[in-house]
Amino acid sequence: TMGNWLVNHWFSAAVLAAWLGINIFLFTYYFLFFDRDEQYFYTRAILGSALAWARASAKCLNFNSMLILLPVCRNLLSFLRGTCSCCRRTLRKQLDHNLTFHKLVAYALALLTAVHTIAHLFNLERYNESQQDTDRSLRAVLSKMHQQGSNKWLNPIHSNQTTVEYVAFTTIPGLTGVIITLALILMVTSSTEFIRRNYFELFWYTHHLFLIYFAGLVIHGIAGLVRGQTEQSMAEVHPYNCAEYLTQRDQNCTHNCCKDPEFGSIPAESWKWVLAPIILYVFERILRVWRAQQKVVVTKVVMHPARVLELQMQKKGFCMEVGQYIFVNCPAISPLEWHPFTLTSAPEEDFFSIHIRAAGDWTERLIDTFQVEKPRIEVDGPFGTASEDVFQYEVAMLVGAGIGVTPFASILKSIWYKFQQADQTLKTKKIYFYWLCRDTGAFAWFNDLLASLEQKMAESGKADFLTYRLFLTGWDTSIANNVALHFDTATDTVTGLRHKTIFGRPMWNMEFAAVAAAHPRSVVGVFLCGPEALAKSLQKSCHQHSSLDPRKVKFYFNKENF
C-alpha cells in the first residue's frame, strides 16, 4: 500500500519532493523574472516569452547538472553509509537508490534540454526576422543599434544573410549547444536496460561523453548572446519612459530619451553550479585508482558448467557483509572497464568470491583468459548496504528469481555459519527458500551450494532448518518426459537435489498458507531479489496472509536492490 511505501521510503520521498520543489521554484522564479524584469524590456520586444522559457530552463539545467555526478560517487556514498551507521537501516538503504536518482536527474536534463533548445530556436528565428525588418517597428530599430564596432548591441545577428543554422554552428553557444545535446542524446539512448545488459561496453564508453558534456556546459554561456540593458543605461534612458520615443525620433532630438539604450551580456554562471561536484568526482576517481592498485590474490579458480567462472580472492583489509557487491577490472582485457558483481561468499569465510556468467564480450574474454592463465585482477569495493535484516526474523522466506539468486548464496552460507556457531545475533529458526528460474544450466554452481548445505544440515541433524523449492519456469517436453521416467528416485533428475523440482510458477497463496499454518505465532520476513511484477504479487500475499491479531502470524515484505 502507499502508506507502507511511505513509511519504508520516507527518506526517498523527502529527497524526491525536495528535488521537484527546487526545480519548480527555480523554473517559476526565473521565468517570472525574465518575463517581467525591466532590464529585459527591450530583449522581450524582440524575443517575446521565448526568452523566459530559455532562461528558466537554463537555471534548472545548471541545478540538475550539479546533481547528476553525486549519485555515481560510490566511495562518497560508502562514506556516508559508514558515517550514518548509527542511523536506522531504512535510511542507509535509501542510499542504494542512487542509480534511480541518477536516471531521474538524467531524464530531467533531457526534458529541460529540449525546452531550452526549442526556446532558443524561436529566439534565433526572431532575432533574424527583426534584423531583416525594414519598417520602424521597435524590434527593427533595436536590431539596427550599435552594430558598427561597438559592443553594446542587443541583436547578435548583424547581417541580413545570416541563417539560424549558421549561428548554431559558428557561435560558441550554438556549437557547444549542439555538442552538449548530441552527447546527452547518446548517453541517454545507450543506457537503456537492453543495451546495458547486452552491450555493456557500448554503454560504458558512451557514458564517458559526460566529460565533453561538462566542458561544453562551462563554455556554453561565455559569449553571452542573450543580453539585457546595462544598469547605467537604465538610469539614463529607462525603457518605461523612453521606449515609445525610439520608433519616432528625428535627427534633432532634444528631450531626455535621445540617447540610444546600451546592452550588456548576462555573465556565464554554469561553472559556479558544477565546480564543486566536478572536484568531488575527480577525488572519487583518484580514490578508485588508488584502491585498484592494492594487490588482489586470486586463491582459487573454479570453472562450473554452462561457462560460469568462480573466483575466490583475498585482499588486505577487505571486509564484507552479506548482500554487498564489488567492481572488478581486468587490465589485460580492458584497463578502463569496471563491472559490478554480487559477492557470493559469506563474511565468515577467509576469502571473498564472485560467480561470473558468460553474458557479453567482457565476461566471455575474462572466462577465456582464466582458462589459459591467471591475469591480474583489480577490485573496488565492497559497496551497498548489508542485507542483515534476514537474521532478524524467526522464519525467513527467501525468493530468488533468475540471476537474483546470486546474493542468496552469501546469505544462506552466512546463516548456516551463524547457526553452527550458535551466534546470538541470529534469531532465525527456519528458512524457506524459493528459487525460480528458466533453466538451471547457468546456476549449476548454486545447485552444488544447496547440495552441500543440504548434506551439512543432514549430518548435524538439522535437516529441517532449510526447506527449498525449485520452480523451473521454462521447460520443454524432453525434460518433462525424463522427470516422468524417474519420478520415484530419491533425488531430483534436473538438479540432483533431494527436493523435487516443480514445473511452472509457484502458487503463492498455497505457499503462504502452508507457512502460516506451520508457524501460527511467528513473524515471517519475506525477502525477494527479482523483478517488480513478482514483488507486487508477494506484497499482496504478505498482506492477505498476515493476521490482524498481533499474537498471530505476520508477514513482512523486503525487496532487496542488488
**For position 284, what pLDDT does the model report?**
92
Amino acid, single-letter form, for residue 383: F
Q: What is the pLDDT of residue 75?
A: 84
Give the structural domain span for 468: 387-403+411-444+453-475+492-559
Domain boundary among 349, 384, 419: 384
Q: How far apart are CA 82 and CA 78, in angstroms?
A: 6
Task: Determine which of 55-64, 240-249, 330-339, 474-483 has the lowest per-residue pLDDT on average.
Answer: 474-483
Residue 151 falls inside a structural domain = yes
Q: Are residues 505 and 429 in the same domain?
A: yes
Residue 285 located in a structural domain: no
- Tell me whether residue 61 is in a domain: yes
Would residue 480 count as lying in a domain? no
Average of per-residue pLDDT across 176-190: 96
Average pLDDT over residues 523-547: 88
Determine if residue 65 is left, alpha or beta; phi over 0 gives left, psi from -120 to 50 gives alpha, anything else beta.
alpha
Judgement on whether residues 343 and 269 belong to the same structural domain of the protein: no
For residues 522-551, average pLDDT: 87
Give yes or no: residues 106 and 165 share one domain: yes
Confidence (pTM): 0.81
Does residue 353 sit in the same domain as residue 434?
A: no
pLDDT higher for 478 or 435? 435
| DSSP state for residue 149 in the 8-state scheme | S
141 and 238 part of one domain: yes
Write the CATH number for 355. Answer: 2.40.30.10
pLDDT in tens, 386-445: 777 788 888 999 998 877 788 888 988 898 888 888 777 778 889 999 988 877 676 778
Q: Does residue 214 lie within any of the structural domains?
A: no
Helices then strands, counting H and E runs in the chain, come out as: 22, 14
Assess whether 12 and 93 both reside in one domain: yes
- 76: cell is 562518497
Whether residues 241 and 315 share a domain: the answer is no
- pLDDT surpasses 90 at 166: no
Task: Verify that 239 and 378 share a domain, yes or no.
Answer: no
Q: What is the mean pLDDT of residues 290-296?
A: 89
Domain count, the chain: 3
**Closest CA relative to residue 264, chosen from 293, 300, 226:** 226
Residue 87 has pLDDT above 80, yes or no: no
Torsion of CA 435, 438, 443, 447, to 10 degrees: 50
Residue 481: its pLDDT value, please? 47
Domain assignment present for residue 289? The answer is no
CATH assignment of the domain containing 548 = 3.40.50.80
Dihedral angle of Cα 47, 48, 49, 51, to the nearest 10 degrees:
20
Q: What is the pLDDT of residue 251?
A: 66
452 touches 415 (CB < 8 A): no
496 has pLDDT over 50: no
CB atoms inside a 10 Å sphere around CB 250: 6
Residue 37 and residue 58 in one domain:
yes
- The greatest distance separating any two alpha carbons of the chain, rounded to the nearest whole angstrom, comes to 113
Range from 7-21, 167-181, 204-218 carrying the lowest mean pLDDT = 7-21
Model confidence at 126, pLDDT cuts 50, 70, 90, reads: very high
Q: Residue 176: its pLDDT value, please? A: 95
| Distance separating alpha carbons of residues 420 and 211, to the nearest angstrom | 52
Length of the chain: 562
Residue written as grid cell 520476513: 525
199: in domain: no
Q: Are residues 439 and 308 in the same domain?
A: no
Residues 356 and 424 in one domain: no
Question: What nine digits make up the cell of 309?
Answer: 567462472
Average pLDDT over residues 106-116: 97
Together in a domain, 271 and 300: no
Examine residue 467 and state whether it is found in any structural domain, yes or no: yes
Determine the Cα–Cα distance for residues 553 and 163; give it in Å rounded to an integer: 73
